[in-house]
């Protein structure tokens, strides 16, 4: 590729070691010049995630069989989870996406939540399975469940890949959880830090770099 713009500063990218050690990750994904950076501390490997998704799909498929199902993913964190899960659901379903952003000021831990109205899928007379990457305080999911009910969904159930232990403040009934994790800040498989690291195929605790 030929680039005419100024090259960005080289960045530390703690990806290679962790990916290389995971048999579920295709070694050809690895950039060969990125082996000298610190490794992530992997909490859940790509193989563990994929195995758990098959188990989750086996629970969900019979529960929604013969029901008009719309799977609604919360942007952006749920995109990997959504994409991998729906490919295991061999049944008619629709996919919707919803965007929610919380404004968290410096003095408050949970601020206003803004839900983009333009993206709201039409869920009238549909059963909704709401997917998110992680249940933390519960603020986001509590609000979205209410919004989807208000839109006329027949039912709204919640499924999260991760649930952080001891963090829930807002009560949300969760139907299915992939993994319970300790109260640590994690990235990968959709989860971000400053909008980066989402593409990692595993869940890891971000090292101090």
Where along the sequence are the contacts to ligand IMP (CB under 6 A)? Answer: 77, 132-140, 185-187, 191-192
Q: Which of 118, 95, 93, 115 is nearest to 103 (CA)?
A: 115
185 interacts with, out of ligand IMP, Mg ion, none, CB within 5 to 8 A per kind? ligand IMP
3-state secondary structure of 100: strand
Chain position whose Cβ is nearest to Mg ion:
77
Q: Is 36 exposed, middle or buried (0-12, 13-18, 19+ CB in 10 A)?
A: exposed
The smaller minimum CB distance to Mg ion, of residues 77 and 178, is found at 77
188: Cβ contacts below 8 Å, ≥ 6 apart = 40, 197, 198, 200, 201, 202, 203, 204
Nearest approach, Cβ of residue 77 and Mg ion (Å): 3
26-85: contacts with Mg ion (CB under 5 A): 77
Would residue 36 show up in a list of annotated catalytic residues for this protein? no
Q: Which of 46, 42, 41 is nearest to 24 (CA)?
A: 46
203 interacts with, out of ligand IMP, Mg ion, none, CB within 5 to 8 A per kind? none
The smaller minimum CB distance to ligand IMP, of residues 48 and 68, is found at 48
Residues recognised as catalytic: 136
Enumerate binding residues for Mg ion (CB under 5 A).
77
């Amino acid at each position: 590729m030929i680039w005419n713009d100024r090259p960005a500063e080289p960045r530390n990218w703690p990806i290679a070691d962790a990916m290389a050690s995971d048999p579920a990750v295709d070694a050809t994904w690895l950039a060969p010049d990125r082996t000298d950076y610190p490794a992530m501390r992997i909490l859940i490997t790509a193989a563990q995630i994929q195995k758990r998704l098959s188990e989750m799909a086996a629970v969900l498929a019979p529960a929604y069989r013969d029901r008009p199902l719309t799977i609604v993913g919360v942007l952006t964190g749920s995109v990997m989870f959504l994409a991998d899960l729906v490919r295991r659901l061999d049944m008619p379903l629709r996919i919707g996406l919803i965007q929610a952003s919380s404004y968290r000021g410096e003095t408050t831990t949970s601020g206003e939540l803004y839900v983009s109205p333009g993206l709201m899928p039409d869920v009238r007379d549909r059963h909704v399975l709401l997917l998110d990457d992680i249940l933390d305080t519960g603020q986001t999911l509590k609000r979205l469940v209410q919004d989807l009910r208000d839109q006329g969904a027949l039912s709204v159930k919640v499924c999260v890949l991760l649930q952080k232990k001891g963090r829930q403040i807002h009560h949300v009934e969760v139907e299915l959880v992939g993994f319970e994790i300790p109260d640590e800040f994690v990235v990968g498989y959709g989860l971000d830090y400053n909008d980066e690291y989402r593409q990692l195929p595993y869940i890891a605790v971000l090292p101090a770099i």
